[in-house]
Structures are given as C-alpha cells and as structure tokens.
Chains A and B, each alone.
Chain A
Amino acid sequence: MSTTPTSSIWRGTTLLAVAAVVLMPVILPSPTLATEILIFALAALASNLLLGYTGLLSFGQGVFFGAGSYCSALVMIHWHFGLFPALLVGILAGALTAFVIGALAIRRTGIYFVMLTLSFSQMAYFVAYTMSSVTGGDNGLLNVPRPPVSVLGFELLSLASPLVFYGFVALLFLAVFVAARRVIHSPFGSTLVAIRENENRASAVGYDTRQFKVLAFVLSGAITGLAGALYALLLNFVPLSNIELATSEHILIMTIIGGTGSLLGSLLGAGSIVLLGDVLSALWPRWPMLLGLALIAVVMFLRGGLWGGLLDLKNRLIRSPEPPQPDTRQKDAAQ
C-alpha cells in the first residue's frame, strides 16, 4: 500500500490493460471465464480506490456488488428495462448503498470503521435473505434476461454469444479503467492518497476529509454496482452469495494479492484468482487454502502484491547493478 500516483511512470498501463483484454479470450479456454475475470477486475479496482488509495478497508464491497446485481436484474425482469438503463440502475444502486454505508461508517476510524462496514454487510445479507419474495432468498433470483444492445428501441447487437458479451464487457472495463486512472491523477485522487498517508495533516491543510472519503465510497460503489449488474447478465441469475460477507472478502483478497495502489494490479489479482479457482477447483477443491497463504505472504513480505513484485523484478532485470529498494518502511500511524 505504498505506490504514489505519478502519471509519468504509469503512462503505459492503459496500453497494457488493452493488450490484456485483447489477449485474454485468445489464451483462456472460454470467453465466459475471461468475462468473469473482467467483472471481478472491476470490483477489485473499485475496492482498490478505497483500500489502496484512501486506506479504507471496507467489508461493504459485497453489498454494493449485490445491490447492483439485484436492482438491475429486478428492473429487467419486472419492468423490462433495456440493457443500458438496467446497467445504469445497477450503477446507481451501488453508488447509493455506498453513499449510505460510507457516510455512516466514516464517522469512525480504524478498527471501529471496519466493524461498521462489517455490521452493515451482515445486515444487508439478512435483509436480502428475508425478502425472499423479491430476491428469491436462498434460491437466488432466477431467469435474469440479457437484453441486446439497443438505441432508441432499435436492436443493434445481440449479446447472446459469449464472445460478443465478452467484447461488450471488455469495452466497459476499458472505459472504467481509463476513467479510474483519470480519477487517481486528479486533485481528488491525490487528496485521497494524502488522507491515506496522514489524515490529520490532510485536515490541517484544509481538506474536509469526510467529504473525500464519502465521494471515494460513492465512486467505488458505482463501479462495484456495475460489476454486480454485469455478473447478473453473465450468469442469467443472481445468487444470494453475491451479497454475502464472503463476496466482500473475495473482492478484498483479489485487490490485495493483485497489488493495492495500482489499477493493473487489480486486473492481475482478479485474473489470477478467478483462473486459479477455475483450474484448481476440479483438481483440488481445497485450493482457497492457497489464497490464505498468499494473503499472509503479501501482507508480510510483498506489500505491492503481484503487480509490485513484477515491477521489482523488472527493475532488477533492467538495472541489475543497483539493488531494488524493497519498501519496508512501516506506517505505524496508519490508523
């Protein structure tokens, strides 16, 4: 959790993201798997805005994800919303839940902040479970349609084919990726990093840090809501597990293992974990144990995550005489 956004270093990242998005359906066994990776990459990227850039560990990500998928699915099922209006509903649902949870949770800091997001996450789960007439409860919300791309009632493109749907998700992902880079390099983004580094000081130089944290929550919730809506379209189904605490943990783990404080890290984290799960779950159902080990290893030894590790490696290879500088400085005042 140490990377500083400096645009000059990161100029190549968008190109790398485009390359990854183009290559994935070629390399991976199925476009559906590639789509799932991009959807979770969106969720991880959104969680990164909070954890990596603002320093907020939120267990609310699953709530935003669930709210996005439930709301977009419901308006498609009951009110026959088209594709874009439904996605917009998903984004708004994520943003709105994030606003409410964020605005309440940031009234506290440190462990109490984390506990607040945890309790809201649990409450959201039990609400979804109880309102089974709306959400389908334990059975999930079935028969979610996947409407075609249409403009003013004219149908332009059916998304029924997995590859076409991948293309659609990929375009959205790239749009969000570029937008998120812009956010990070904006005055707002640099202030988030300032808050992560030293909230007290940020406040003393004139920032109302609460406003910034709430806005970070809203942006993160909007992107996570979009990811949830896309996930409902992918599965044609909304499982109750979308809104579970486990989903929040899953998203957090992808963010951390990929690398906090770098957007490509989120793609890398989501990619490796979704892929690992896909390959290993048939061979060795206990593969989540590896996630546990990786989580510990990253926090103890490799704060930059997989992406940070790759950058270190690159630096080592290119400038071999100069030893790389592992970032071991501890931030004991981070809370």
Chain B
Amino acid sequence: MLNVYLFQVLNGLGLGMIYFLISVGLTIIFGLLNFVNFAHGAFFLLGSYLCYTVVTLTGNFWLSLFVAPLGVALLAWITEQVLIKRAYHLPHTFQILITLGMALIIREASIMIWGPIGKSVPTPAGLDGVFRLGSFAYPEYRLFMIVFAAVIGLLLWFLLERTRFGALVRAGSEDTETVSLLGTNIFKLFSLTFALGVGLAGVAGVLSAPIRGAHPFLGEEVLGIAFVVVVIGGMGSFTGALVGGLLVGLVQSLMTTIWPQGASLMIYGAMAAVIMLRPYGLFGRS
C-alpha cells in the first residue's frame, strides 16, 4: 500500500519537474522581457514532435534530447528576430493576442507535418527497464527524467546566479535602462533569453514525449498549467517555478486515481485564489 503512494509521489515529482522546466522558461521571459508568451505551450509541443521525428529517423533518443531543444530554441530565436522583438513595448493585451496567433500557427503546422493523430515515442533503449529497491519497483525512464530535469535546473540556476549572462538577466529584469548603460547590447540579451526560455520548454517536450507522446492539443493544456505554476510561484521567480511546478505535479498525480477533473479544478482554483489574495505569488517580489 505504501508502495502505491510512493509510486504516485514519484510520478508527481516527475510531472512536477516537467512543469518546472516549462514554467521557468515562461517566468524568465516574463521577468526580463516583461513579455507574456501564450505560444509557450506550442513550443513545448514542437519539442515533443521533433523528438518523435529524430527518434523515428535515427532511433536515437539521446540525439533528440540534444537536437530537438536546439531546434526549438533556434525557431524561437528566428520568431524573436522577425516578430517578438517588435512587440516588447506593446501592452500585455497585444502580446497575448500576437502569441495566441503564433500558437495557432504552430499547432496547425504541426498537424500538417505530423498529422492530426497523436504520435507515441518508445521508451529509450537502456532505460526501458524497472528500477527495484526491495519490494518497490519504478520505471527507470521516469527516474532518469527526474534526475535529468534536476540537472538542467541546477545548470540553469548556475547560469542565472553565477555567470555574467545571469547577472545581466537579473539586472535587466529590475531595470533595463541600467543594463543598456553598462554597454551590453540589450537586444542581443533579450533574444538569447527568449531562445533560452523557449528552449527549456523544448527540453520539457522531449522529456515528456516517451511518457505522454505528442498530440496537437497538448500545447494548450500545458500552457494553462504553466501559467498556473508561474502565477502560484510568483511571476519571474525561479524558486517559485520549482515549488509551484512540484506542487501542481503532485496534486495532479495524487488525484488522477480519485478525480482527475477535480485536480484541474483545484489547481485553477488555487491560481485564482493566489491572484486575489497574494498577487505576487508565493515567491514573487512586489
């Protein structure tokens, strides 16, 4: 019996880490660029589909874990150059509408390329076994997913807290003018940050593909969850994205067997409550 709970908790952690990766990208983009990206879920979807294609062509999941996020980030960089950078100064309402349009285009293009029916991705070779500890057994891939997402999270933390790039991003989210006075090309910094944030959604898309596959309407579902996480954790907060992601993942996982719609009701209810009672989230700054 205890093993069943442990199983669900681990599942929740895995889901939570995926949500963390998506949301931290969204939150970084919001924090530095003050940009609301409603296409974030669509880029996640693209990550899953690219993973499917690479795995189908080469049979190599590890290659896809490298190539797909880069592909997503590259596409994000191109859209940033062509469109997004012209929208930074616009009110949030307009940003939402523009990225909503982008999400539509990405979704429809995905259906054109990969068809309307979802694709499944096989569990990578070498991780298709089961990890055993006494009487407890857990799929190896899901454990790997948790560890890998944690490593990415650590690297990201290191990047944001310990490098010059991170210092500029953090300074920029406080005050863009100062950063441009420091002689940094602020536009380059913005483009990189946007590509990085979206690339993280791509990583999450690849990691989740062997479990959930790739389906055209996954993007919208994920976008909603990502906003819940970002709002609960506090817009722009790294810690908030981690804690919020894990919370949402755990709630969803523990409720799946009892009442899955109840989980969605709960998390969206929590989002509304947080905005009304504590608009800057659990870890945000006012």
Contact = CB atoms under 8 A, between A and B. Distances in A.
Interface of A: 55, 57, 104, 107-108, 110-112, 114-116, 118-120, 122-123, 126-127, 129-130, 245-246, 249, 252-253, 256, 285-286, 288-289, 291-296, 299-300, 330-332, 334-335
A123 B93 contact: no
Given A108-B276, A116-B272, A253-B100, 8 more contacts: A111-B36, A114-B92, A114-B93, A119-B269, A129-B261, A288-B107, A292-B105, A300-B87
Contact of A126 (B94, B265, B279): B265
A122 B268 contact: yes
A112 B275 contact: yes
B99 to A, nearest CB: 9
A249 B261 contact: no
Contacts of A107: 276
Contact of B96 (A57, A116, A130): A57
B261 A299 contact: no
Most chain B C-beta atoms within 10 Å of own C-beta, residue among A104, A127, A286, A299: A299
Interface stretch (B10-18, B56-64, B193-201, B223-231): B223-231
Given A111-B92, A126-B264, A127-B265, A296 B102 contact: yes
A253 B90 CA distance: 18
Interface in B67-106: 83, 86-87, 89-94, 96-98, 100-105
B161 interface: no
A295 B272 contact: no
Contacts of A252: 97
Contacts of B98: 295-296, 299-300
Interface residues of B, number: 42
Given A292-B102, A299-B97, A299-B98, A286 B89 contact: no
Contact of B101 (A123, A127, A291, A335): A291
| 9 A-B pairs closest in CB distance | A292-B104, A295-B101, A292-B105, A289-B108, A334-B91, A296-B101, A292-B101, A119-B272, A122-B268
A123 B104 contact: no
Contacts of B111: 285-286
B104 A288 contact: yes
Nearest to B224: A122
B241 interface: no
A286 B102 contact: no
Interface of B: 36, 83, 86-87, 89-94, 96-98, 100-105, 107-109, 111-112, 116, 220, 224, 227-228, 231, 235, 261-262, 264-265, 268-269, 271-272, 275-276, 279
Given A108-B279, A332-B91, A118 B104 contact: no
B89 A289 contact: no
Contacts of B227: 115, 118
B93 A334 contact: yes
Contacts of B275: 108, 112, 115-116, 119
Nearest to A298: B97
B96 A114 contact: yes
A126 B265 CA distance: 6
Contacts of A120: 268, 272
A110 B94 CA distance: 11
B117 to A, nearest CB: 13
Given A119-B228, A129-B261, A299-B94, A104 B272 contact: yes
Most chain B C-beta atoms within 10 Å of own C-beta, residue among A289, A292, A294: A292
Contacts of B268: 119-120, 122-123, 126
B83 A296 contact: yes
Nearest to A122: B268
Contact of B265 (A55, A110, A123, A288): A123
A159 to B, nearest CB: 35
A104 B275 CA distance: 10
A285 B104 CA distance: 13
A335 B262 CA distance: 33
Most chain B C-beta atoms within 10 Å of own C-beta, residue among A110, A111, A112, A127: A111
14 contacts: A110-B92, A111-B36, A115-B231, A123-B268, A126-B261, A126-B264, A130-B261, A245-B224, A286-B108, A289-B105, A289-B109, A295-B97, A334-B93, A335-B92
Contacts of B264: 122, 126
Contact of B279 (A112, A285, A299, A300): A112
A295 B265 contact: no
Nearest to B227: A115
Contacts of A330: 89-90
A249 to B, nearest CB: 7
Contacts of B228: 119
A47 to B, nearest CB: 12
A300 B82 CA distance: 12
A97 to B, nearest CB: 14
Contacts of A249: 100
